[in-house]
Amino acid sequence: MRDSSIITPIQHTHAPALEVQAVSAGYVGNVSAIENVTFTVQKGERVAIIGANGAGKSTLFKAMVGLIPFTHGHISIFGEDCRTSHNLVGYVPQYEAIDWSFPLTVFDVVMMGRTRQIGWFRAPSKHDRERVQALLHTLGLSWLANRQIGELSGGQKRRVFIARALAQETQVLLMDEPFNGVDSVAEQEIMAMLDILTANGMTILLATHDLGKASRLFDRMLILNRRVVAFGTPQEVMQPSVLRQAYAGTVEVFMEDGQAYLLADEHGCGGG
């Protein structure tokens, strides 16, 4: 069932959820971390972004949400320049990028996502509290509302930060390596949450090094190696020649029963 407490519909637009056109951003030494990246995502799609260490996955996400400038190109969200529509994009950074030591409850953390709506130095309104309560209920987190964030498991923390991103009335959700360091139960809980969001029309881009999940559970896959190596359905993308370009020198690719398999070193498929 569609739950309007998760997504506030975009009115009067038929524009794609996300358009990235010839974007270059970030630097590694004197070289752009990503260069001339172009792709388009439609509303409600679930896209996995994969690539080796240093491929530019995190750089791409940070450029979309304004954490770093892009030096060339254009990014739009539902037809609006991303630099004026940051409220439409929710970002869940890598686990290691978050300071978990702050003595905040789950409710407090999710309410932080409402900062743009509330304004600085103002108390949350009844509407803001109802919004947060609805999100926690829909995403199965109400029972954790008064728990300190530092007391949660790794999977619970990631789910709370998804709720925090959604609290800002997000239309496009970016998630950077949410499966890193969690067990299979937590992975299933995160995917169940993503299923709820997809059913509600959320557009999701998720960076991962797990090619199995990317090919089974996502509509399309974007392979980065500073530039776009491939973008399409899993069947189109999971080809040995494509994967060798993406992981140049770090993997061996072989085929069995029509499927592509990788043998990668432990540093070859993470980060980004």
Alpha-carbon distance of 244 to 47, in angstroms, equals 20
pLDDT at 224: 94
Judged against a pLDDT cut of 80, whether residue 165 lies above it is answered with: yes
In which band, very low, low, confident or very high, does the pLDDT at 226 lie, cut at 50, 70 and 90? very high
In which band, very low, low, confident or very high, does the pLDDT at 13 lie, cut at 50, 70 and 90? low
User: What is the token pair recorded at 2?
Assistant: 């569609």
Other Cβ atoms less than 10 A from the Cβ of 150: the count is 12
Alpha-carbon distance of 218 to 197, in angstroms, equals 13
User: What is the token pair recorded at 27?
Assistant: 């630097």
Widest pairwise Cα distance in the chain:
60
With CA atoms as reference, report the closest residue to 184 among 154, 139, 214: 154
Phi, psi of 136 (to 5 degrees): -60, -40
pLDDT at 246: 81
The domains located in the chain, with CATH, are 18-264 (3.40.50.300)
Give yes or no for a contact between 25 and 69, defined as CB atoms under 8 angstroms apart: yes
Give yes or no for a contact between 153 and 160, defined as CB atoms under 8 angstroms apart: no
In which band, very low, low, confident or very high, does the pLDDT at 272 lie, cut at 50, 70 and 90? low
In which band, very low, low, confident or very high, does the pLDDT at 113 lie, cut at 50, 70 and 90? confident
